[in-house]
């Protein structure tokens, strides 16, 4: 079994790795903010990095808003004004860029299952779309039969060059049926924003389905595999590489999910750090180790971003030894039991 080392980071150990990192890529939900509230201490960490001359990029899998709107949100939550639209990457922007670079002609339209964020980015590149918003079943079916056997499509199949699927609260059987019928044409592109199963929110007891279940439904109904642009997939990485001259070996991805943020980083040669302020916790790292999912085991982990800088109340309160003891109850090394290590290191 491969031994994978995950080092605990706090305000004392974090500065020691800075000289090896030029660029920091942050997830947003569960890292910089949670819902509409700022994640305490995160603005201080961003300020600290900017003062050190580091490049800061925000990479979110949330396509519900455009980069311009996310820039406004960051400012409203108290983040440094240096972090603006040009520092943000989201699936909406990558989707629009992907369609634009695919050579989608102006006489072709996009059937869109998505929200305003995608619409704004498509508008910026002059890409035509339709289908967004409510499309009630009652407008298409009288309820006399269990299945809907005929469906009138707004646009001829030959005039639709792509189907784009992201999160949309209006998603229903009609939209699923339309997407599957447009995708019968093999020349029609199938592009998805992301495949996140759920989205973090302020109420931990409420499951909030994200775009993943919607994308999964269209995949099964159409029998087609989409180009997924969000983390952990390569289109988002290539988009970043085209905009910034990053050195992957000197770049760190920080996020709250092992299956998107950590996997994205490890698949593309970045250093990775899981913060425990959002979806995934230490138990998830342990589970990934036990199931040999080494591409989802981070190089580092931390309580939250605020714990990485000396900011008083946001400094980490739980000692690394306590977290290590928690792991000790669950795992051992391949050849010998786990023992607490110097330099606050946890071994898997």
CB burial of residue 285 (10 Å; 0-12, 13-18, 19+): buried
27 is in an annotated binding site: yes
Cis peptide before 232 (omega within 30 of 0): yes
271 known ligand binder: no
CA end-to-end span of the chain, whole Å?
Answer: 10
Dihedral sign computed on CA atoms, order 8, 59, 315, 17: positive
Is 261 a catalytic site residue?
Answer: no
Among 10, 22, 29, 210, the active-site one is 29
**DSSP string of 199-218?**
---S-TTS--B-HHHHHHHH
**230 exposed, middle or buried (CB, 10 Å; 0-12, 13-18, 19+)?**
buried
| Full DSSP string of 81-122 | TTS-GGGEE-HHHHHHHHHHHTT--TT-EEEEE--HHHHHHH
User: Cα 112 vs. chain centroid, distance in angstroms?
Assistant: 20
Identify the active-site residue in 27, 47, 210, 284.
27
Residue 29 labelled as part of a binding site: yes
Residue 315's alpha-carbon distances to 14, 40, 181, in angstroms, are 12, 11, 54
Can you tell me the distance from the alpha carbon of 274 to that of 256, in angstroms, rounded to the nearest whole number?
5
Cα gap 237→255, rounded to integer Å: 15
Q: Is 256 annotated as a binding residue?
A: yes
Annotated catalytic, 120?
Answer: no
Whole-number Å distance between alpha carbons of 92 and 69: 12
Nearest in space to 271 (alpha carbons), one of 1, 6, 3: 6
* C-alpha to C-alpha distances, 226 to 163, 216, 259, 267, 271, nearest whole angstrom: 9, 10, 18, 19, 28
Q: Provide the annotated binding site for substrate.
A: 231
Provide the annotated active-site residues. Answer: 27, 29
Q: Provide the annotated binding site.
A: 27, 29, 231, 256
Q: Provide the annotated binding site for Mg(2+).
A: 27, 29, 256
């Amino acid at each position: 079994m491969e031994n994978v080392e995950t080092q605990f980071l706090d305000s004392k150990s974090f500065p020691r790795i800075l000289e090896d990192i030029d660029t920091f890529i942050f997830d947003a939900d569960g890292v910089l903010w949670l819902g509409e509230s700022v994640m305490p201490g995160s603005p201080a960490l961003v300020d600290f990095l900017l003062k050190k001359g580091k490049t800061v990029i925000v990479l979110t899998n949330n396509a519900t808003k455009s980069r311009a709107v996310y820039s406004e949100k960051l400012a409203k939550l108290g983040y440094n004004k240096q972090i603006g639209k040009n520092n943000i990457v989201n699936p909406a922007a990558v989707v629009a860029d992907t369609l634009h670079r695919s050579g989608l002609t102006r006489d072709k339209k996009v059937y869109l299952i998505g929200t305003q964020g995608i619409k704004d980015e498509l508008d910026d590149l002059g890409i035509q779309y339709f289908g967004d918003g409510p499309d009630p079943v009652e407008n298409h079916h009288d309820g006399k039969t269990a299945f809907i056997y005929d469906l009138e499509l707004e646009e001829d199949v030959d005039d639709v060059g792509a189907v784009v699927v992201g999160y949309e609260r209006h998603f229903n059987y009609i939209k699923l049926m339309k997407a599957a019928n447009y995708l019968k044409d093999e020349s029609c592109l199938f592009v998805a924003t992301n495949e996140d199963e759920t989205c973090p929110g302020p109420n931990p007891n409420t499951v909030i389905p994200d775009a993943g279940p919607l994308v999964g439904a269209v995949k099964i109904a159409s029998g087609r595999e989409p180009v997924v642009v969000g983390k952990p997939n390569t289109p988002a990485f290539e988009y970043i590489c085209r905009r910034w001259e990053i050195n992957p070996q000197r770049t760190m991805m920080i996020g709250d999910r092992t299956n998107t943020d950590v996997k994205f980083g490890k698949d593309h040669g970045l250093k990775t750090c899981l913060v425990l302020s959002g979806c995934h916790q230490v138990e998830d790292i342990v589970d990934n180790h036990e199931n040999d999912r080494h591409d989802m085991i981070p190089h580092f982990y931390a309580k939250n971003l605020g714990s990485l800088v000396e900011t008083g109340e946001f400094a980490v309160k739980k000692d690394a030894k306590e977290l290590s003891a928690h792991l000790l109850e669950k795992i051992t090394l391949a050849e010998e039991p786990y023992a607490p290590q110097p330099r606050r290191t946890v071994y898997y």
